[in-house]
Chain A
Amino acid sequence: MEQHYNSAGTDPSPRGTSSRGGAAVTARASFAELQAEARVRWDQLNNSTTPRIILGMGTCGIAAGAGRIEEAVRETLEQHRAKADIEAVGCIGLCYAEPIMDVVAPGGPRISYGSVTTRAAEWIVVSHVLGGKPVPELAMAVIGGDPLDGIPRLEDLPVMRGQRRVALRHCGLIDPTSIHQYVANDGYAALHRVLTEMTPEQVIDIIKRSGLRGRGGAGFPTGVKWEFCRNAEGWPKYMICNGDEGDPGAFMDRSVLEGDPHTVLEGMAIAAYAIGASEGFLYVRAEYPLAIRRLRQAIAQAEEWGLLGDRIMGSDFSFHVKIKEGAGAFVCGEETALIASIEGKRGMPRQRPPFPAQSGLWGKPTTINNVETLANVPPILLNGPEWYASVGTERSKGTKTFALAGKVKQPGLIEVPLGITLREVVFDIGGGIAEDRRFKAAQTGGPSGGCIPASALDLPMDYENLSRVGSIMGSGGLVVMDETSCMVDVARFFLAFTQSESCGKCTPCRLGTKQMLDTLIRITEGKGEPADLDRLMELGEAIKAGSLCALGGTAPNPVISTLRYFRDEYEAHVFEKRCPAGVCTALIHFEIDPDRCTGCMVCARNCAVGAISGAKRKPHAIDQSKCIKCGSCYELCKFSAVVKS
């Protein structure tokens, strides 16, 4: 897809100055040359006399129809025989407003339009691109400029005000296919500083002082991890980036890999220098084809410019990166399982110690860091550890990205200072609950995490506080639930997931999760017994104690935490055979209120099993013996005549 864009930032064909070309190029000369060229191009781009149209082309943008918008833009341009540069960027995180289209008219600011339809796109092209007049009715924000015609600055949008972007600093703003745009925005400057001014020990010290902790979930201090590997005996050492973002409901790493691949490569190279590795692997899920494509391209560009490969920037440090595509196993997010997978084996975790820092890939010292962790590394080295540590709480420093999804008005990708309250995240940044329903709980940490109830809305979110309320920070999935979400059903959902993803090595996990799932299914079908609730707790504790890896060790969390806060819902299922949220199909039924039914036939026509009968303009009725409780009629009825009970 990329080759269609005549982006001004697209890189030229291979050049002769690469350090692999054989010519002895000193680090400063060649990198300085790239920086100078990148700056010139960046200035040219910003002072371009051709209008620029920038489309959000991350997976989410494409899913929302960015491709159709692009077509509409091209057609309109062609009709008017006009020229404009069309560029593609990654996800800016305002996923609720996708498709997003930014326009820069010559001499004007960059104006972002949200929820663009093909007709809106035509209008924007005609008025703004061709006429130079922005369309305030459709505009969302001004990026990097002052408010204009009543269009607010991006930073002033409620969704952005509470955010602070470090790992996502470039996402949606620069062209991820252009190394020049990355370099023009301080890209690879941190790596350059590290290689020319610092010893590996100094790098580790800075990361330790910054307080950066692993963003994959466990929150282990990154600097300490690096130090272990640095001090471990054995050669070669390996640096692995864990991009196997398996938690359902999480997409932070995808956005970073798609929107700013170079920052991950730079972070990896710095980490490799610190631990003394010369070879690295980027393990990315196969479900993220666009991320893999972007990374391949970024690696090729970095190698071409001598920023990866042999003798990087003329120093003695060499580092080669390979991409390993995951093959669809959630457990491979666990580091020892991930290593087994790279080695070409079944991705089954093994006992620790020895930790990967001592004996990892092929038995050699290995460091594994998450994508987001690595994306934080270059800015920390450029701005200093104090800068990073000034944000956050006492033991949780810096910022954290969250994939805000579920029943929230403005789902998207956010990055906030640690210590922010859940209330700010859901109600200020997320815009509140969709359809103004009541907040019930937020689920963090995916299948390993738990639910945060409404009573903890004002708790500052950091690693310690979240574990105190029975959840975990996790990798950053944050799914919001309202009163129409059944917590027993949510617990069942997660157990079904962990049960099917259990690798089967440890019996408590393999059989215990199956037992827990069967019990939960029974409860949601109205066949639960009073003893089930205690049995679930007991089983949960046993599974936690008897499993080798974090998958089993955390699998019961969703059940334990929902039992802790929403025991009344479980009890309603067990004792009253009732689902208060109206989700568990076995416990609900639909009826038609004859007083409200107008006999419009819509429900009858759409019923998949023909359970609705009734003549035109006469009240309809549902045959309960045929009804499969799919809820189609309930969703379709315009007169609220279908009642769920």
Chain B
Amino acid sequence: MSRRLLHQPMGVVSVTRESRGGVGQQREQVGALGFHGKKVIGVPAAADPIDDLLARYGGEPGALIPLLQKVQERYGYLKGCHIQQIARFLKLSPSEVYGVLTFYAQFRLTPPGRTHVRVCQGTACHVRGGKRILQELESVLNVRAGSTSEDFEYSLEKIACFGACSLAPVVVVGSEVHGRMTPQKVRKLFEGNGRRLTEEKRLEAVQGGGE
């Protein structure tokens, strides 16, 4: 293997996002990760500082997960430059950090929507029609579970259980918990916010949901 190839960024985490101004106007590279953490492509680390967070966990064993949580809390998701900074700080390789963060469902590498909607798919919600609620949300918000809408307005996430089983099925909008949901209540909840869908898109959203 040539030397050149060896120095290719192997554990590359390249996160791109559409700028919020409009779809397809400008592709902004928000971070990229070199294998040895030497060459940073794209936005410099200084743009999104996390030094204060790093300082708070200095020397503490097991700091990686709390640090990732704090950074995500601040920026909504984990950028490549953050992964790199954390790795350097904790004397880990970026791929180790990447390995840990992809293991846990909480961490995201893409920005969430302005409104983050979570829908419970636990046992109690399942037997009380949670799947229908999920389908309705996908249809009303025009976004697939696990992704963010094109305009970054909504992101939809499936949750294994919220622990509010007696109020099943449950939907959480931001930090607001809504219990005893019905497809009708879902529509009412997003009335005015939910955009009118073309018949084709709606069909696609409804049919694709659930699994």
Interface residues of A (CB under 8 A from B): 59-60, 62-64, 95-96, 98, 245-251, 254, 286-289, 324-330, 341-348, 362, 403-407, 411-413, 443, 446, 477, 479, 481, 485, 490, 493-494, 497, 501, 503, 608-610, 628, 630-632, 635
- Of the listed stretches B13-21, B30-38, B188-196, B202-210, name the one at the interface; the rest are far from the partner chain: B202-210
Q: Which of these, B66, B178, B207, contacts A325 with CB under 8 Å?
A: B66
| Interface pair A289/B175, CB less than 8 Å apart | yes
- Of the listed stretches B1-9, B47-55, B159-167, name the one at the interface; the rest are far from the partner chain: B159-167
Q: Which of these, A63, A96, A248, A346, contacts B122 with CB under 8 Å?
A: A248
- The distance in angstroms between the C-alpha atoms of A324 and B63, with both chains bound, is 10
Interface centre among A324, A329, A479, A635 (most CB of B within 10 A): A479
Interface centre among A481, A503, A609 (most CB of B within 10 A): A609
| Interface pair B122/A249, CB less than 8 Å apart | yes
| Interface pair A248/B65, CB less than 8 Å apart | no
Collect the chain A residues with CB atoms within 8 Å of residue B199's CB: 610
Task: List 9 additional contacts besides A248-B121, A325-B69; criterion CB under 8 Å.
Answer: A251-B166, A327-B65, A328-B104, A343-B62, A406-B128, A407-B127, A407-B128, A503-B103, A628-B206
| Interface pair A64/B167, CB less than 8 Å apart | yes
29 A-B residue pairs with CB within 8 Å: A60-B179, A62-B177, A63-B164, A63-B167, A246-B160, A248-B121, A248-B124, A287-B159, A289-B175, A328-B104, A329-B103, A342-B62, A344-B62, A344-B63, A344-B65, A347-B104, A404-B166, A405-B168, A406-B124, A406-B127, A406-B128, A407-B128, A412-B166, A608-B206, A609-B206, A628-B206, A630-B206, A632-B183, A635-B183
Q: Which of these, A289, A341, A404, A497, contacts B65 with CB under 8 Å?
A: A341
How many residue pairs link A and B with beta carbons under 8 A? The number is 156
- Ranked nearest first, the 3 interchain pairs of A and B with the lowest CB-CB distance are A95-B166, A248-B122, A249-B123
Least CB separation from A446: chain B residue: B123
| Interface pair B127/A330, CB less than 8 Å apart | no
- B42 interface residue per 8 A CB criterion: no
- The distance in angstroms between the C-alpha atoms of A96 and B161, with both chains bound, is 18
Shortest C-beta distance, B69 to chain A (Å), equals 6
Collect the chain B residues with CB atoms within 8 Å of residue A477's CB: 123, 165
Least CB separation from B178: chain A residue: A63
Shortest C-beta distance, A337 to chain B (Å), equals 10
Collect the chain B residues with CB atoms within 8 Å of residue A413's CB: 166
- B116 interface residue per 8 A CB criterion: no
| Interface pair A96/B166, CB less than 8 Å apart | yes
Q: Which of these, A254, A479, A610, A628, contacts B124 with CB under 8 Å?
A: A479
| Interface pair A324/B66, CB less than 8 Å apart | yes
- The distance in angstroms between the C-alpha atoms of A345 and B102, with both chains bound, is 11
| Interface pair B167/A329, CB less than 8 Å apart | no
Collect the chain A residues with CB atoms within 8 Å of residue B207's CB: 609, 628
Collect the chain A residues with CB atoms within 8 Å of residue B164's CB: 59-60, 63, 251
- The distance in angstroms between the C-alpha atoms of A59 and B164, with both chains bound, is 7
Shortest C-beta distance, B67 to chain A (Å), equals 9
- The distance in angstroms between the C-alpha atoms of A501 and B199, with both chains bound, is 35
- The distance in angstroms between the C-alpha atoms of A565 and B28, with both chains bound, is 57
Least CB separation from A59: chain B residue: B164
| Interface pair B61/A329, CB less than 8 Å apart | no
Q: Which of these, B123, B162, B175, B203, contacts A479 with CB under 8 Å?
A: B123
Interface residues of B (CB under 8 A from A): 61-66, 68-69, 99-100, 103-107, 121-128, 132, 135, 139, 159-168, 170, 175, 177-180, 182-183, 199, 202-203, 206-207
Collect the chain A residues with CB atoms within 8 Å of residue B178's CB: 63
- The distance in angstroms between the C-alpha atoms of A501 and B175, with both chains bound, is 24
- The distance in angstroms between the C-alpha atoms of A248 and B64, with both chains bound, is 27
- The distance in angstroms between the C-alpha atoms of A249 and B199, with both chains bound, is 36
Q: Which of these, A248, A329, A411, contacts B166 with CB under 8 Å?
A: A411
| Interface pair A630/B132, CB less than 8 Å apart | yes
Least CB separation from A91: chain B residue: B166
Shortest C-beta distance, B108 to chain A (Å), equals 11
Collect the chain B residues with CB atoms within 8 Å of residue A247's CB: 161
Q: Known contacts A406-B128, A407-B127, A479-B124; decide if A59 and B162 are in contact (CB<8 Å).
A: yes
Collect the chain B residues with CB atoms within 8 Å of residue A479's CB: 123-124, 127, 165
| Interface pair A327/B127, CB less than 8 Å apart | no
Interface centre among B99, B179, B180 (most CB of A within 10 A): B179
| Interface pair B177/A344, CB less than 8 Å apart | no
Least CB separation from A485: chain B residue: B127
| Interface pair B128/A63, CB less than 8 Å apart | no
- The distance in angstroms between the C-alpha atoms of A329 and B123, with both chains bound, is 17
| Interface pair B180/A327, CB less than 8 Å apart | no
Least CB separation from B123: chain A residue: A249
Q: Which of these, A96, A251, A327, contacts B69 with CB under 8 Å?
A: A327
Shortest C-beta distance, A501 to chain B (Å), equals 8
- The distance in angstroms between the C-alpha atoms of A348 and B102, with both chains bound, is 13
| Interface pair A630/B135, CB less than 8 Å apart | yes
| Interface pair A330/B160, CB less than 8 Å apart | yes
Q: Which of these, A497, A630, A631, contacts B160 with CB under 8 Å?
A: A497
- The distance in angstroms between the C-alpha atoms of A254 and B69, with both chains bound, is 21
Q: Which of these, A326, A344, A348, A485, contacts B61 with CB under 8 Å?
A: A344
- The distance in angstroms between the C-alpha atoms of A286 and B108, with both chains bound, is 14
Shortest C-beta distance, B5 to chain A (Å), equals 28
| Interface pair B123/A631, CB less than 8 Å apart | no
- The distance in angstroms between the C-alpha atoms of A327 and B139, with both chains bound, is 28
Collect the chain B residues with CB atoms within 8 Å of residue A254's CB: 163
Q: Which of these, A62, A328, A610, A631, contacts B106 with CB under 8 Å?
A: A328
- The distance in angstroms between the C-alpha atoms of A128 and B66, with both chains bound, is 48
Collect the chain B residues with CB atoms within 8 Å of residue A446's CB: 123
Collect the chain B residues with CB atoms within 8 Å of residue A287's CB: 159, 161-163
- The distance in angstroms between the C-alpha atoms of A443 and B163, with both chains bound, is 16
| Interface pair B61/A405, CB less than 8 Å apart | no
- The distance in angstroms between the C-alpha atoms of A248 and B163, with both chains bound, is 7
- The distance in angstroms between the C-alpha atoms of A418 and B202, with both chains bound, is 50
- The distance in angstroms between the C-alpha atoms of A630 and B210, with both chains bound, is 11
- The distance in angstroms between the C-alpha atoms of A267 and B103, with both chains bound, is 31
